Structure 1
């Protein structure tokens, strides 16, 4: 069953960005792969789902975000304005001298743009005053500043989650980059949203540092309106996350993979029950599992005597949770193969750039013949 160099019977699953061309039920990629291997598992990229779930801003916050984007575009779209603003920031000894653009396809850019704009907002106000721009009045309104501060805090939390979900983050370093570990991060974020809702309901804004610093002294009316909009936003956000990240239908797989010694035998399929009983009564294997070994090392190296249970676990361990590596590859190619090197065969360069293996420079140097002196 080999086609195009692929052994389809060994194909565990694939991760997509959720586009219709990928997930169609008849003639698209998912359907075509199912014809080759019906047991293949299709997953929707965790980061793409999270980005879709986060698009829940109410009208007032959407207007505030658009205003911030207009301010940045006014300063950045003109080379003259950019130079003048940089000089103004330099004269005021500002920490930053430039603003940041954002694009929808760059997951971190919106939060970084808002954070930078907030940090040098006083310089921006002076620049807009000198230019007599109509955005000045809106940018200086007390209500706008409060909504702006909330957006800064909210997108900072979103960016923090983005980084946790990327393949080079802490999960990877801890040997936990499996689909269930990413699920834990999402569940933790949903629990945080519930905590924020409970706090905001009690007029407690301590979960949002930037907002909390400026909200005191603004008046009860401002707090009441802000509370209403924040409750609406956070409630919608929670609902969207629950919609895009539903609970696993078969939780026994998750329990089996995470700790095969705690799951009840009756919860798993009949064909692996006897093998699971043998595993659970293997004292040495249990001690090895409890000694702190990672799930990957346990299932790949230690549980080889139990092939049926092991095959199920490895199938889920090998699934890609995100398309991060693919996105990273595109970004690397754009850097390597630019207009000055458009005829370059970038395969070897990309392999070196994307590899996590540290090159042994000293060994490579010793293997080379030194240049003879003349």
Structure 2
């Protein structure tokens, strides 16, 4: 929406003139307004990109944590770049507006303040993890990357898995969730520890998907419909075996 507004700013000015909106028109003509708007387009675009990456059925605490940490590091890098007025890579829309001249010092100060506020808010909302949780996340993400001297006694069994050549090959080929399901029979204890990292919902995506699916199926004309089974089918990633399902049902109940 902001990008659309930015691209149509000349048309918006003309619209405000035509409809006699002097206060709004004056606000848009304040010095530095368009540069601030361009910055907002860039920063909201970056936040939306992070939000999109965190959605999806294959997301878990591990990859979502990586996405958040990467964005926090990116914010810190952008703050450093503000000291030299470098907005070319970080904020392309703003750069296109100020292409041949550097942004005003006041704008750079405001951007730096806003970025620091964002960093503080991310640090407040996403608290620093307990070292034991960080260690478990690291071992779950890749059991082969471990420091023997730093692994706690409760997680020593991970060392057995890291010396299993067959499972190490499977780890390279399989998605991380599939790998830990496959390792369940051989290493049930560490498998349970890994599942504690993989099973929890990483975002509200699945809840929102379920609500949308329910609204689609349960309309006013079907208000008494029991949607549990339909929702399970709509949200599941497992392909049903139709032949087995059909063969288990009796076609004519009266016989």
Q: How many residues align?
A: 241
C-alpha distance in 2 between matches for 1:276 and 1:343: 50
Give the TM-score taking structure 2 as reference length: 0.81
CA distance 1:120–1:261, shift in 2 (3 Å): same
C-alpha distance in 2 between matches for 1:349 and 1:285: 37
Is there any run of 5+ residues in structure 1 with no aligned partner, and where?
1-112, 365-374
C-alpha distance in 1 between matches for 2:219 and 2:69: 40
C-alpha distance in 2 between matches for 1:155 and 1:148: 11
Which of 11, 16, 23 aligns to 1:128? It is 16
C-alpha distance in 1 between matches for 2:155 and 2:79: 44
Q: How much does 1:343 deviate?
A: 4.9
Give the TM-score taking structure 1 as reference length: 0.57
Cα deviation 1:53-82 (Å, max 9, x = unaligned) = xxxxxxxxxxxxxxxxxxxxxxxxxxxxxx
Cα deviation 1:245-298 (Å, max 9, x = unaligned) = 23321222122212222323443342552x333323323323333x33222122
Asked if residue 162 in structure 1 is aligned to residue 58 in structure 2, the reply is no
Which of 204, 211, 215 aligns to 2:86? It is 204
Name the counterpart of 2:135: 252
Q: How much does 1:234 deviate?
A: 0.6
Q: How much does 1:116 deviate?
A: 2.1
Pairwise mapping of residues 160-309 of structure 1 onto structure 2 (< 5 A)?
160-168=49-57, 172=58, 177-206=59-88, 207-216=90-99, 223-249=104-130, 250=132, 251-273=134-156, 275-289=157-171, 291-309=172-190
Q: How much does 1:223 deviate?
A: 0.9
8 Å contact 1:265–1:276 — kept in the other structure? no
CA distance 1:142–1:359, shift in 2 (3 Å): farther
Name the counterpart of 1:152: 41
Q: How much does 1:203 deviate?
A: 0.7
8 Å contact 1:272–1:308 — kept in the other structure? no
Q: How much does 1:352 deviate?
A: 4.9
Q: How much does 1:186 deviate?
A: 0.6
Name the counterpart of 2:2: 114
Is there any run of 5+ residues in structure 2 with no aligned partner, and where?
246-255
CA distance 1:360–1:281, shift in 2 (3 Å): closer
C-alpha distance in 1 between matches for 2:184 and 2:232: 32
C-alpha distance in 1 between matches for 2:230 and 2:184: 37
CA distance 1:205–1:245, shift in 2 (3 Å): same
Cα deviation 1:301-349 (Å, max 9, x = unaligned) = 0352122111111222111111211122223334444556545554455
